[in-house]
């Protein structure tokens, strides 16, 4: 993996991160199917701070490395080479996305109260958006959690599910529907809710096949949950707009981390292909294995390229970058799964055993085709944007082959 375009300081951080993950973190990984325990997490985060690789995405004034978003990918890919690497570096979901959003839209008081301890790894966080049917899920407009004005603040009532990271979190960013008040539009609003608030309660766990996200994906209940006015994150009624500030980069950082894990799976497969002999030679000398290897290289390189393009857009044109993040999310989630699946195939029976971590890697990356919006929903949105863009171009007078072809009564 080479990144010749990186500024020297970012290239040096990438190399430090690479060494830290491979020399320190990999040896601390739990057995396949296990979870990172808090004691190990704290020890690894302390070591990451000492190594100067902690919180690469966080501005330096809040204790991070200050890497700009267009250069996050090589760092987060190195972190993702281990399934516990992002937690060790404090750049794992949902905290990483929450840190990014807090940095962009929180007040200075909110940053000191929430961002500073979150960036330092002293607390974790969660994001309360998804709800049980018929509430918000693939369609955010179905949001049912409500917040109403009261003296000195708001009262929130609602039921969230798949609230990633909620067990043990210090606070939750809750999305709730709000009426138009004091000139603000009716819509959705984000609220910063301490998990010690008596009106919020972590409910039953949802047992999923992935293990990397600290705090699981439980239900969350808000019942007569009072928060003061200073709990509003951003402006009242603009929650959906702010959600795009978070969701575009968060989709992309998932791609970065999981691409790092795909590279790890591919390396395991390459080692097996080079060492294991079959039919008188190494597996890697067989055409069928070479085809699997080549297809994985293609998936890795195309994923890397689309991540790089999307990250650059998020820096220069956030609206276009957010739209492109849907394309990246769909492509990468499917390509990464294919890479891990091929690695299992090359490793044969060992690939599906707990003697290798590949089966667990497959469990980690499979949910990504659902998390952050199902791929089918993203494809629907991609198609709508594409059709609308082409229609606008045609309306503006851009010529196109369709008229000429139809005019001749056939297809050329």
Q: Are strands 187-194 and 232-233 parallel, antiparallel or unpaired?
A: antiparallel
Q: Which residues span the domain enclosing 146?
A: 125-237
Q: Does 257 share its domain with 316?
A: yes
Q: Does 260 share its domain with 375?
A: yes
**Is the pLDDT assigned to residue 196 strictly greater than 70?**
yes
Say what the pTM is.
0.93
Residues contacting 66, CB < 8 A, separation 6+: 58, 59, 60
**Is the pLDDT assigned to residue 405 strictly greater than 60?**
no
Residues contacting 3, CB < 8 A, separation 6+: 11, 14, 74
Residue 96 backbone class (left: φ over 0; alpha: ψ -120 to 50; beta: rest) = alpha
Residue 370 lies in a domain: yes
Domain with residue 186: its CATH number is 2.40.110.10
> Hey, what are 86's tokens?
């992002």
Share in percent of the chain as helix, strand, coil (round to 5): 55, 15, 30
Q: Does 223 share its domain with 249?
A: no
Residue 99 lies in a domain: no
Q: Are 263 and 300 in contact (CB under 8 A)?
A: yes
The predicted-structure confidence for 13-30, as pLDDT tens digits, reads as follows 999 999 999 999 999 999
The predicted-structure confidence for 55-106, as pLDDT tens digits, reads as follows 999 999 999 999 999 999 999 999 999 999 999 999 999 999 999 999 999 9
Q: Are 128 and 187 in contact (CB under 8 A)?
A: no
Q: Does 256 share its domain with 386?
A: yes
The predicted-structure confidence for 160-182, as pLDDT tens digits, reads as follows 999 999 999 999 999 999 998 88
Residue 403 lies in a domain: no
């Amino acid at each position: 993996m080479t990144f010749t375009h990186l500024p020297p300081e970012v290239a040096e951080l990438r190399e430090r991160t690479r060494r830290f993950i491979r020399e320190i973190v990999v040896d601390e990984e739990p057995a396949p199917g296990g979870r990172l325990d808090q004691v190990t997490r704290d020890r690894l985060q302390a070591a990451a701070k000492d190594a100067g690789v902690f919180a690469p995405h966080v501005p330096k004034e809040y204790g991070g490395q200050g890497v700009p978003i267009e250069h996050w990918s090589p760092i987060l890919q190195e972190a993702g080479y281990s399934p516990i690497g992002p937690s060790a570096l404090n750049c794992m979901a949902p905290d990483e996305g929450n840190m990014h959003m807090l940095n962009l839209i929180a007040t200075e008081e909110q940053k000191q109260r929430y961002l500073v301890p979150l960036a330092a790894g002293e607390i974790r966080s969660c994001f309360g958006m998804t709800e049980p049917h018929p509430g918000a899920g693939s369609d955010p407009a179905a949001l049912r959690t409500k917040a109403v004005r009261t003296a000195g603040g708001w009262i929130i009532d609602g039921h969230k599910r798949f609230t990633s990271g909620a067990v043990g979190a210090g606070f939750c960013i809750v999305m709730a529907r709000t009426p138009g008040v004091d000139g603000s539009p009716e819509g959705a609003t984000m609220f910063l809710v301490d998990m010690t608030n008596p009106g919020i309660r972590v409910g039953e766990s949802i047992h999923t096949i992935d293990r990397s996200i600290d705090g699981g994906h439980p239900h969350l209940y808000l019942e007569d949950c009072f928060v003061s006015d200073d709990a509003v994150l951003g402006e009242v009624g603009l929650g959906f707009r702010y959600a795009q500030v978070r969701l575009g980069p968060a989709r992309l950082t998932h791609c970065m981390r999981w691409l790092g894990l795909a590279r790890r799976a591919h390396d395991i497969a390459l080692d097996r292909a080079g060492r294991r002999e079959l039919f008188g030679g190494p597996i890697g000398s067989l055409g069928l294995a070479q085809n699997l290897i080549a297809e994985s290289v293609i998936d890795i390189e195309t994923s890397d390229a689309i991540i790089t393009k999307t990250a650059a857009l998020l820096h220069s044109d956030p609206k276009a970058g957010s739209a492109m993040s849907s394309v990246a999310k769909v492509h990468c989630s499917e390509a990464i799964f294919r890479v891990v699946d091929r690695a299992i195939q090359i490793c044969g029976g060992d690939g599906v055993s707990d003697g290798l971590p590949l089966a667990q890697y497959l469990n980690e990356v499979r949910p990504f085709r659902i998390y952050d919006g199902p791929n089918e929903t993203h494809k629907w949105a991609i198609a709508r944007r594409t059709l609308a863009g082409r229609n606008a171009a045609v309306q503006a007078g851009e010529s196109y082959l369709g008229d000429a072809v139809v005019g001749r009564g056939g297809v050329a």
